[in-house]
Structure 1
Amino acid sequence: MRELYVVTHPEATHHVDGLVGGWYDSDLTDRGAAHAERIAAALAGRLSEAGVVDVFSSDLLRARRTAEILGQRLGVGVVLDPDLREKSYGEAGGRPQAWLDERFVPPPAVGERMRHDEGIPGAETKWELAVRTYAAVHRILRSEAVHQVVVTHGGTATFVLAAWIGMPVDAAGSVGCRFTPGGITVLREDDHFHNRWIVRLDDVDHLR
């Protein structure tokens, strides 16, 4: 059976500083780095006899550092993919969260949600985020490794799951999952029916 472990990077400096993340290249905090070690230990325990394991990661520093800690523990290299980045918030990236909140235009309840302009110059639409995330997932699934780890961000992880279950990108305008920094989501495709399961969503037991 194919298994994917989707890891959302743990606590980063923009979290504690109250800044907008997105493409702002924040680093892990000391607490985040310690949580990355716990994530690595948890996955090493599950994958100790798994054979070949691939590790894919967003190239942003907070995700990359997490993936490198995982890769060292698993004894494998890391494939960096900028399409696994968090949504770009354009001019808001790295600014106080309050700056974004004052200017943000929420999407309508009905109608066009994927290409909605949120009112922030340079920001990606949900459509742009979804399209590149789907492309990254399709590349990952071309790997022959049966076990894969994907290190990404909370906003992007929603579309990783949507791509995994085969949701058409045009239908993903209202999908949303809440992810905890440092959480692990387990996905599995069985060999008989080839169903794609979400086995466990946002597991944080290893952080306690």
Structure 2
Amino acid sequence: MATVVLLRHARSTANGSGVLAGRSTGVELEQTGLEQAQALVRRLAGVPLAEIVSSPLTRCRQTVAPLAEALGLEPLTEPDLSEVDYGAWTGRELKTLVHEPLWTVVQQHPSAAVFPDGEGLATVQARAVSAVRAHDTRIAAARGAETVWLLCSHGDVIKSILADALGQHLDSFQRIVVDPASVSVVRYTETRPFVLRINDTGGELASIVPRPAESGERAGDATVGGSTGEQVEPTPTRNA
């Protein structure tokens, strides 16, 4: 199994608008988001990404475009990583939705939440986890267990993948924060996933690259006593 970088799309025209955009058309990256997408090229410069898999929505494709161009990769589109289908809630103002009875269910018991004329959050998790694990298995089989690849999707979708990787019930996923352009990292093994980063919005990422296993190590085993950490060379600084 391989290591996946879970990237939430950069800031879009819908973020902060007070409207639940969902799968609405016409949602693109705003200026800050375009800058965040460019910054990802520098942030991930030390990570040898083998593949990029993306939600089909425009804001995700725009987010990975600079990175894909820099690496010479053609992103693969995966429909099962698309945004939640909020159904009749799509395009409505959040200040109105908070008064809907379903809002409390979404907050307190999301595994039971099904959006009118849309899909349930449990269904979202099932499709997303199935997709990420299938791609991870495919990529590891083709390129090796030390391969790193990137997945670009949406906030609730990534939170549901992280909840699964952490062994948490979906009802706990609202405790996870995933900001625009943030990076979370999961390393899958035959026996369990290891969560390396959550909602990382800055700093080096080279240490997520798997190192060759030492003699006697098994990929699915946790380090007894805790990890000793990866040694990363500090970034040189210049005197002002």
TM-score bracket for this pair, using the shorter chain length: 0.7 to 0.9
Name the % identity: 22
Show CA shifts across 1:35-57 (max 9, x none): 011112211x122xx3x611011
Q: Any gaps of 5 or more consecutive residues in structure 2? A: 204-240
Q: Deviations over 1:95-151 (max 9, x none)?
A: 2222322325222898x752334xx52232111111111221122112234111010
Contact 1:91 1:123 in 2 (8 A): yes
**Distance (Å, rounded) in 2 between the aligned partners of 1:108 and 1:80:** 28
- Number of matched pairs: 194
Distance 1:129 1:141, change over 3 A: same
Structure 1 counterpart of 2:62 = 65
Cα RMSD after superposing both structures: 2.5
Contact 2:164 2:170 in 1 (8 A): no
Distance 1:5 1:18 in 2: 28
Counterpart residue number, 1:122: 117
- Distance verdict in 2 for CA 1:95–1:113, change over 3 Å: closer
Compared CA separation, residues 164 and 109, structure 1 to 2 (3 A): closer
Which one-letter code corresponds to 1:107 in the other structure? Answer: V
- Name the SS of the counterpart of 1:15 in structure 2: coil
- For residues 2-22 of structure 1, give each alpha carbon's deviation from its aligned partner in whole angstroms, at most 9, with x where no partner exists: 321111111111114221122
Larger Rg: 2
Alignment TM-score, normalising by the size of structure 2: 0.71
- The answer on whether the counterparts of 1:137 and 1:164 sit within 8 Å (CA) in structure 2 is no
Structure-to-structure mapping, 1:1-208, within 5 angstroms: 2-25=2-25, 26-43=27-44, 45-47=45-47, 50=48, 53-105=50-102, 106-107=104-105, 113-117=110-114, 120-142=115-137, 143-144=139-140, 145=143, 146-164=147-165, 167=167, 171-176=169-174, 177-189=176-188, 195-205=192-202
Q: Is the 8 A contact 2:4 2:186 kept in 1?
A: yes
Inter-CA distance 204–109: structure 2 relative to 1 (3 Å threshold): closer
Distance 2:130 2:191 in 1: 20
